[in-house]
Structure 1
Amino acid sequence: MSQYALLELDMDGTLLDDEQRVSDENKRAIEEAMRAGVTVILSTGRGFVNAVPYAEELGLTGPMVTVNGGEVWKNPNELHLRHLLERSKVQQMYEVSQKYDTWFWAYSIQGIYNKEKWTAVIEKEDWLKFGYYNEDDEVRGKIMDELHQIGGLELTNSSPYNIEINPLGIHKATGVQSVCELLGLSMDQVVSIGDSLNDLAVIQQSGLGAAMGNAQDAVKEAADVVVATNNEHGVAELIYKYML
């Protein structure tokens, strides 16, 4: 039996291939890990609604971490923890999006919004995450400077061209720590895998942290091991090499 009891899976760029599918190879490996007694959880920047269909596809009925740790679920039907952004900060972040005419999106408990679909009344909703997408490095750098001035924000990304924002101190590692507390485990018993900066903290704090072959360089440098890409079933490689 492996020394590891929990496998934390990022979704986009990790578990999912570029067509947003879970490969048969990854499915088989996950099934074998669960049969061996490993708890498998999804830990994603996505909101619950966009993550839970994959949990159902894989037969995962236990905890889940969504919106980069903004929510921790005991199971797909029961919320355990939720961390909200201050509405005043969301207003400021919205104003930054208008200043730089950049694409943005935001998750609230009430809905998912973006630049093309912005019907939100900021002061009436409960905000989980805000994000920007811009391929211009200079503009993205200016947005980062504005966010640092706002302060009290956790800044990561899920691609080299975006910025994802949660309340300060809230990230996937805090979410997985909460899951460990629920299950009576320690972070030493966790294997984590991902590809982007929103995976960095949990990879650093897990017993074994893995980076995908397609991961950003900073993630590869921080990881204990690097496996194949998301299109080459890197999750399956991790499970067979290090967990079974």
Structure 2
Amino acid sequence: MGKYKLIALDMDGTLLNEDKKISAENQAAIREASSQGKVVIMSTGRGAISAMPYIKELGLTTPLVVVNGSEVWASPDRLLKRTLVPIETIRDLHQLAVAHDCWWWAYSVAGVFNRESEGLHLDEHEWLKFGYFTDNAEKLQRIREVVASWGTLEITNSHPSNLEMNPLGVTKASGVETVCDFLGISMSEVIAMGDSENDIAMIREAGLGIAMGNAQDEVKRIADMTTVTNDEHAVAQVIRTYMLA
């Protein structure tokens, strides 16, 4: 059945189609892999609350990596590890968003907040990730350069028009590695699939790193291979080819 014991799946643009649904083909392959003792986990930029309906839909009780690795769950109901962004850094990121007049959002332990959140007091929350969105590429690049100069954060994206900031050293790869340590699996036994910059670290570190057909060019460049798109049941194709065959 092959050497791969675990598959780490990005959600948006990978497991989910453009309608934000899990296709019947992908569902069937995931259930078959699980029944044969393979481990299927989500590794997503989403928070746990946002990911959970899909986890339940698939009937998974396996670990999961959320918020780009800032939280790792041993199971859907048990937190294994959480890494916070210092409040001072969150204040600086927020000020940068205000200065550049762009949309921002941030994941806290309590939930997601954004530019329209009323009565938000940054100091009252524990923060996991901060993000920016703008269609102005020059503005996005200026923000990236400023944050990069601090040397304290991982800078990725989940779409060409956004930026996502996590604590330095916290990535989907670090999250999957934590899961592997927990399960006694090596990264060489992992398949990782994704489409965006926040997937690059885990795709690079996995035994088999796969870029989606709809992935950003940089993801395709570093991946071991490129598969079909998220509307063509890529997850099912990869599972059947590399885990069940």
Classify the TM-score, shorter chain.
Answer: over 0.9
* Cross-structure match for 1:188: 188
- Residue identity opposite 2:178 in structure 1: S
* Cross-structure match for 1:28: 28
Structure 2 spans left out of the alignment, 5+ residues: none
- Residue identity opposite 1:65 in structure 2: V
2:10 pairs with 1:7: no
2:50 counterpart SS class: helix
* Cross-structure match for 1:149: 149
- Residue identity opposite 1:121 in structure 2: H
Deviation at 1:123, TM superposition (A): 1.7
Deviation at 1:76, TM superposition (A): 0.8
> 1-side partners of 2:189 and 2:119: how far apart?
43
* Cross-structure match for 2:133: 133
User: What's the Cα RMSD here?
Assistant: 0.9
> 1-side partners of 2:27 and 2:225: how far apart?
21
Cα distance, 1:165–1:118 mapped onto 2, change above 3 Å: farther
* Cross-structure match for 1:163: 163
**Percent of aligned pairs sharing the same letter:** 48
Contact 1:113-1:119 at 8 Å conserved across structures: no
Deviation at 1:118, TM superposition (A): 4.6
Deviation at 1:221, TM superposition (A): 1.0
Deviation at 1:203, TM superposition (A): 0.4
Mapping of residues 1-244 of structure 1, within 5 Å: 1-244=1-244
TM-score by length of 1: 0.98
Contact 1:89-1:150 at 8 Å conserved across structures: no
> 1-side partners of 2:124 and 2:69: how far apart?
22
Deviation at 1:3, TM superposition (A): 0.5
2:191 counterpart SS class: strand
2:44 counterpart SS class: coil
> 1-side partners of 2:228 and 2:212: how far apart?
6
Deviation at 1:151, TM superposition (A): 2.9
1:17 counterpart SS class: coil
1:11 counterpart SS class: coil
1:85 counterpart SS class: coil
> 1-side partners of 2:218 and 2:21: how far apart?
25
> 2-side partners of 1:25 and 1:111: how far apart?
32
Q: Deviations over 1:193-225 (max 9, x none)?
A: 000010001000001010100000111111111
Count of matched residue pairs = 244
> 2-side partners of 1:207 and 1:111: how far apart?
33
> 1-side partners of 2:146 and 2:89: how far apart?
11
> 1-side partners of 2:207 and 2:111: how far apart?
35
> 2-side partners of 1:75 and 1:20: how far apart?
23
2:95 counterpart SS class: helix
> Following TM superposition, where does structure 1 have runs of at least 4 consecutive aligned residues deviating by more than 4 angstroms?
none
> 2-side partners of 1:216 and 1:118: how far apart?
34
Contact 1:6-1:38 at 8 Å conserved across structures: yes
> 1-side partners of 2:68 and 2:40: how far apart?
17
- Residue identity opposite 1:178 in structure 2: T
> 2-side partners of 1:118 and 1:206: how far apart?
41
